[in-house]
Amino acid sequence: MEIKPRYLRYLAAIGTHGSYVKAAGALNISQPALSLSIQRIEDITKAKLVDRGRHGARLTRAGMALARHGNEIEASILSAAEEISLLSHGISGRLRIGGTPLSASGLIPMVISRILSITDDVAISVTEGIDEDLMALLARNELDVVIGAPGTAANRPEFFTQPLFSAKTVLVTRQGHPLAQQNSVSLASLQDALWAIPPHGGSFRAQIEALFTANGIPFPQRTVQAASIDVLKNIVRQSDAVTLAAELIVRDEVARGQLSCIDIAEPVAVRVFGLHTREKKELGDLGELFCQLVTEQAPEYVAHEADPAFLAVTS
């Protein structure tokens, strides 16, 4: 007997809602029908998938593994419905893009502007976030492509990765900061400095922590944490706080005379940004065009000098 897709959706609903009653309500089926379906799939798999107790229902590890596929099915159904709706309104292309702050603030807008110069018969959405969250959305089929540097998170068989560019990490201070005149600075000399850093949970925060650990340097205690790179840059620009960032993401502020970049004396691993898609997923004409243009324009983006006319308008 085969596993029916709806059974996977039912497991996913139980995992989301934590009870048979709520899951049945969300699925618009009766609770006995839901219970019978779960019993059938447990018979098929010969595994216990749901633990029921006084406080609700929880998926077992086997149940969570199957529910993950149920979430993908649900996302695919919603995606198909949205695509049909767009087609009915004359929109022939839809693309869901994920990007970390570096790519979302630079490369992705460049590529979208190129696409719009070719056709505006599209529906494009851009989600900015940390690498791990974006790759999770890609895995659940809630994004079509991701541009980021997730490190080992990308080395999974369900993903296809095409390297695009590398980003050098530097120390960033405000213009006029006492450190700004130095060519390089050791992290060991910054133990008493105020740091503006991303919170726990992201790959860049993990890289920062690994950098201190690898060099035997205690992690800074005086910190201001913010998830947004724009918030971090503004904190540094308006105070004596320092931060670590990709040189590419602050180059416009450096050109405006707002921030300064300083090389780090300790060895720092280069972050490699890539284009990530689901293995064997058909992206359609719009997705294929996006991937082609990203590959073509990544070198141009990395080599780009801040445009003086743009800086005059945005200063």
Task: Indicate whether 278 and 161 sit together in one domain.
Answer: yes
pLDDT tens column, 46-81 = 888 888 877 788 888 888 888 777 777 766 666 666
Q: Give the total number of structural domains in the chain.
A: 3
Residues 286-292 have a mean pLDDT of 88
Residue-number span of the structural domain to which 283 is assigned: 91-166+272-314
Task: Indicate whether 216 and 299 sit together in one domain.
Answer: no
Cβ partners under 8 Å of residue 14, min gap 6: 20, 23, 34, 38, 50, 57, 59, 63, 67
CATH of the domain at 42: 1.10.10.10
Residue 81 belongs to a domain = no
Residue 284's pLDDT is 81
The answer to whether the predicted template modeling score (pTM) of the entire model surpasses 0.85 is: no
| Token couple for 179 | 């450190």
Cβ partners under 8 Å of residue 185, min gap 6: 171, 179, 262, 263, 264, 265
Task: Indicate whether 69 and 125 sit together in one domain.
Answer: no
Higher pLDDT, 308 or 29: 29
Q: Are 258 and 174 in contact (CB under 8 A)?
A: yes
Residue 239 belongs to a domain = yes
Task: Indicate whether 61 and 104 sit together in one domain.
Answer: no
Least confident of 39-48, 81-90, 224-233, 264-273: 81-90
Q: Are 111 and 99 in contact (CB under 8 A)?
A: no
